[in-house]
Amino acid sequence: MRGKLWTRLAPFISRRHVSTSQASLSSSSSSCSVIHPWLFIGLGNPGEKYQCTRHNVGFDMIDMFAQSQGISLTRHHFKALFGEGMVEGVPVFLAKPQTYMNLSGESVGPLAAYYKLPLNRVLVAFDDMDLPCGVLRLQPKGGYGRHNGVKSLIYHFRKNREFGRLRIGIGRPPGQMDPKAFVLQKFNKTGRERIDSAIEEGVEILKLVVTKGLTEAARSSNVDQKYKHLTTHDMQL
């Protein structure tokens, strides 16, 4: 690790000195290991017009996580609002692309490349119409379904789909309503309450990803979410 990457991540290097007996000094008296960062991305649209809409729950998730960890998201970096901090001793980068949803990959692709992060250390939070409102689903990889923001990420990751996703359920559009119009609307009172509760749960899930890894976090959190709001999948919220 050299150059700019070394400069930025130097404070995050963990040196663990291993004490040994005199008999083992010939093999090693210390070891040095690198704690690899996480990059958490929230998808949404910039500007006051889109605040609190269904399509911006990814932004909401990252905002709440940043607030909970005391991380400032005021720096502009690779077309994103960006912040960095430590969570349980692990470096975490947070970003909210400001490119508009369908071009999110223009920000996230170069951002991950700049920090030389493998995609299994990248996690994206976004809205999902295939889940009931307020239900979360954590996955290590997948497709993009009908989500153009995730589609843009895959394109800029050179069609690699093996990055983490925190899907945030927003429910289905009622009747014959255009999905494009549905995602740009705000929630009603009940829907907003469910989303706010889900975002609080999502913060804990992201903390679990940092401390336990994505696979273990998914195993425990998805069980809790599986039957949540089961009877309200098609309710307009």
Is the separation of the CB atoms in 102 and 147 below 8 Å?
no
Strands (DSSP E) along 11-50, which ranges? 13-16, 31-34, 38-42
Catalytic annotation present for 55:
yes
C-alpha 26/C-alpha 96 separation (Å) is 49
Sheet containing strand 75-77, strands side by side: 75-77, 80-87, 90-97, 38-42, 122-128, 164-169, 136-139
C-alpha 169/C-alpha 134 separation (Å) is 5
Residues 6+ apart with CB under 8 A from 76: 82, 98
Query: Among residues 17, 36, 55, 76, which one is catalytic?
Result: 55
Q: Can you give 48-65 as a three-state secondary structure string? A: HHHCCEHHHHHHHHHHHH
Is the separation of the CB atoms in 64 and 199 below 8 Å?
yes
C-alpha 60/C-alpha 163 separation (Å) is 20
Task: Please identify which residue in the block is written with the tokens 């700019």.
Answer: 4
Please list the active-site residues: 55
